[in-house]
Amino acid sequence: MSELDPLRFTEHKDELPELNRTADTGGLERLAHRLLGRIPEAVTDRAAASASLRDLGFVLASLERHGTDHRTVPGAEEALLKLGALADEVPRDSVYTYSLRNPEDRLRTFTGIAEEVLFIAEVRRAGTALRPAVDHLMAALPLPVRDPLLVEHLTAATEAFKVFAHALLTVKRNITPEVFSTGMRPYFPPMTVGGTVLYAPGGAQMTPLLVDMAVLRPEPDDPRHAWYEQYLDENLLYLPAAYRAAGDTIMASRPLLPRLLDETPDGTTVAVWDRLRLLMREILHFRLPHLQLARANMRIRPDGSLGSGGYTTDSLDHLVELTTERHQRLADAFAAAPPLDHATAPRR
């Protein structure tokens, strides 16, 4: 979908950062009117609607950033609702429209600064890597512990997640909290569309959500189950339709880590646990720096500020606690099990 340009926004992609630099709300409103006028003729299917949510979203979020409610632009809210229904997605921009559907050769940005260009590229790289990770974990969910394909799928998922975790580290090393929080974060405002507050592109909307669901989500007897169910309810709606369907499939099976820990430890089980432990390490290699990054940004924002996904760092604290506890359970089981036969163990 990234190559589609039904609203001919490429003509205006270099104009938008200048309008934002000067806080020219009049110019932004005129640009919004142009795009809205092109929708009836140009948008007739799901793909075009998704591309239009991307480009209209850039303009309307810019207006919101500069203090103008998008609902004051005639036809804007109605257009978002129509596009969202046609695309079968939330009726505003999302992390998918902002990054994965943002064409590399005709990049849309709010600011044009190098850090935003890098941010979009790394979020795109991360999101692209996560799709095979999710696919392999879904394939692993129903497999018995002695199926040799189980190790293969866990290995492939781990390699894909490494790419995702590395992308976050690239962002952490190259974009300071000051640049992100003051130069970029204001362009990710919440927007009320059709009476519902919808949050801007954020990490909670990305497919690590599906990885967590497949591997380590709390089960009904876990005290964190109610909190996690609410967290899913708040974030699954931002996923594209295909990912929401994947989420339904994942929820029909037990998560991998507790299921596999129920297996009697023998050579095969321990080899699978070893491979799962490597995946959990990569998840922590993402989750811990992500929490550090979020805290660093929150420290320089006013008290009570929320991330772009509508959360304080409390939700990340819960996810880190959950991931760390699951990792420790796996490590304890591994330590108590018979020694792994390295002649038959999967290669690292």
Tokens of 37: 């006028």
Q: Give the pLDDT confidence of 103-138 residue by residue, as tens digits.
A: 999 999 999 999 999 999 999 999 999 999 999 999
How far, in Å, CA of 115 to CA of 186, rounded? 14
Q: Which residues of 139-148 are buried (b: 16+ CB within 10 A; e: fewer)?
A: bbbebebeee
Chain centroid, CA 5 distance in Å: 23
**Distance set, CA 327 to CA 10, 90, 117, 279, 282 (Å):** 46, 34, 34, 10, 11
Is pLDDT above 60 for 24? yes
CA 231/CA 204 separation, integer angstroms:
9
Residues 146-172 have a mean pLDDT of 94
Give ∠ CA 102-306-127 in degrees, rounded to 5.
30
Segment 142-162 mean pLDDT: 96
Condensed to tens digits (0 to 9), the pLDDT of residues 252-276 reads 999 999 999 999 989 899 999 999 9
- What residues are paired with 198 via a beta bridge? 191
Nearest Cα to 60, choosing from 37, 42, 84, 36? 36
Give pLDDT tens digits for 37-55.
Answer: 999 999 999 999 999 999 9
Establish how many alpha carbons lie within 13 A of residue 53's alpha carbon, considering only the half-sphere containing its beta carbon: 32
Structural domains in the chain, sorted by start: 9-106 (1.20.58.1320), 114-336 (1.20.58.480)
pLDDT tens-digit map of 201-224: 887 788 789 999 999 999 999 999
Render pLDDT for 60-88 as a digit per residue (tens, 0 to 9): 999 999 999 999 999 999 999 999 999 99
